Amino acid sequence: MDADRLLLDYSVANGHFGVSLYKEMVKTESNFAFSPFSVHSAMSMLLMGAHGPAKREMIQGLHIQSPVNLGFQSYNQSLDHGTNENATLMIANAVYTKTGFHITRGYVNRIRTFYQSQVNRFAEENPEDAINAWVSSKTNQMIPEFLQPGDVPEDMMVMLLNAVYFKAMWAEKFDPEYTSLQPFTDKDGESHEVYMMSMSGDYKTYYSETLGATALRIPYKGDRYSFNIILPREDHSLSTVEARLTHEVLNETLTSLGQQRANQLDLQVPKFSMDTEASMVEMLRVLGINRIFDGAPNSFRRMSNRANLKVDEVKHRCIVELDEEGTEAAAVTGVGIVGISITRPFTADRPFMFVLRDDEKAMNLFMGRYAEPYGDNLVPQ
């Protein structure tokens, strides 16, 4: 199978998985940001050690159509890995195991080959400290404390980690002098003042009849990556849009958006810093992935000859910071085993969803929702 086909299958799998997770997160969070790419990557590392019915559940739940390890490898090879002056996208993986735990040579070789991951041992004392140091180094210190003391208990045999870091400047920066307090109407219809960044410029927009929403693309320097806002029309709620959301609809909307001609707009968008931490276990169960959590015997036979292993936690943390200069975002996932020249306005002054996207490879790297300006996971500006 050629690299282009592998990448297409990989982006489609990531897209389906991302929309599925988004719909689960909406059930419990008003504001959130997460990296479907990071969660999918960590689970794919786990998949390489899975066996039997557990493996089949994961393939279905992760929407995998072709070898996911080859898809990840192809995507990783398409990146500049920090050498691009316009944007930085860094991906890192790691495996930590308990001293004395036997991990098969085949699994170690596959992890090294496809995920460029080394296998490390848990520190004898305070194992969380070394893992936190690794996460911090791979996220440019955005996530210095991923684990808390006790998150690596005595019975934890393995932890798989994926970290994603993104930083890019807007193609056209916002002038801080035009950032001001403006009204934002939350999901309950109440008005709040938020710091709104403002600029007149050329932006692509696309109205989706299916969603009942307008999508707007804000490009980063180099134009490979973009920040996309999906704003419901005024007589639609964000919940209405989300109920209509599928991978196919989202992909068609963002692809069509990229094909539009840019037109001059007066753009206003909130400045925010969002920090979301969540357990993915129950969400993954809803997607049909159960056996890895239930301790079905020999579920990880391709990772270890130990029969009684189960996944105890899938922990995810994501931070997205949006300001006048651009965007900085980081995420880490840990799997623990136990059209016209007249200026028009586009004002994101009511709940919207967002997608930070690699347009060149149709890969949704980060997704999220901004609905309550004073939510608990928003850092005051």
Tokens found for residue 206: 């696309």
Q: Is residue 192 part of a domain?
A: yes
Domain count, the chain: 2
Q: What is the pLDDT of residue 1?
A: 65
Quick check: 6 and 67 in contact, CB under 8 A? yes
Q: Is residue 146 part of a domain?
A: yes
Same domain flag for 244 and 297: no
Q: What is the pLDDT of residue 340?
A: 34
Q: Is residue 381 part of a domain?
A: no
Same domain flag for 220 and 345: yes
Tokens found for residue 302: 């391709």
Same domain flag for 195 and 259: yes
Q: What is the pLDDT of residue 297?
A: 81
* pLDDT tens string 217-257: 999 999 999 999 999 998 889 999 999 999 999 999 999 99
Q: What is the pLDDT of residue 380?
A: 60
Same domain flag for 21 and 123: yes
Same domain flag for 32 and 152: yes
Q: Is residue 376 part of a domain?
A: no
Question: Tell me, what CATH number does 161's domain have?
Answer: 3.30.497.10
Q: What is the pLDDT of residue 379?
A: 66
Same domain flag for 207 and 234: yes
Token pair 């500006």 is at which residue?
A: 381
Same domain flag for 53 and 195: no
Quick check: 50 and 62 in contact, CB under 8 A? no
Quick check: 339 and 214 in contact, CB under 8 A? no
Q: What is the pLDDT of residue 144?
A: 94
Same domain flag for 103 and 89: yes
Q: Is residue 378 part of a domain?
A: no
Q: Distances in Å between the alpha carbon of 251 and those of 11, 14, 218, 238, 357?
A: 10, 11, 17, 18, 11
- Alpha-carbon torsion 122, 127, 131, 137, what sign? negative
Q: What is the pLDDT of residue 377?
A: 74
Same domain flag for 159 and 304: yes
Same domain flag for 300 and 194: no
76: left (phi over 0), alpha (psi -120 to 50) or beta: alpha
Q: What is the pLDDT of residue 345?
A: 80
Same domain flag for 331 and 347: no
Cα distance between residue 131 and residue 119, in whole Å = 12
Low-confidence stretches of the chain (pLDDT beneath 70): 1, 81-83, 339-344, 379-381
The range of the structural domain enclosing residue 240 comes to: 176-272+340-370
* pLDDT tens string 38-86: 999 999 999 999 989 999 999 999 999 988 999 999 998 888 766 677 8
Q: What is the pLDDT of residue 339?
A: 36
Same domain flag for 29 and 161: yes
Average pLDDT, the chain: 91
Q: Is residue 375 part of a domain?
A: no
Using alpha carbons only, how large is the chain's radius of gyration in Å?
A: 21
| 263-270 and 344-347 strand pairing | parallel
Q: Is residue 377 part of a domain?
A: no
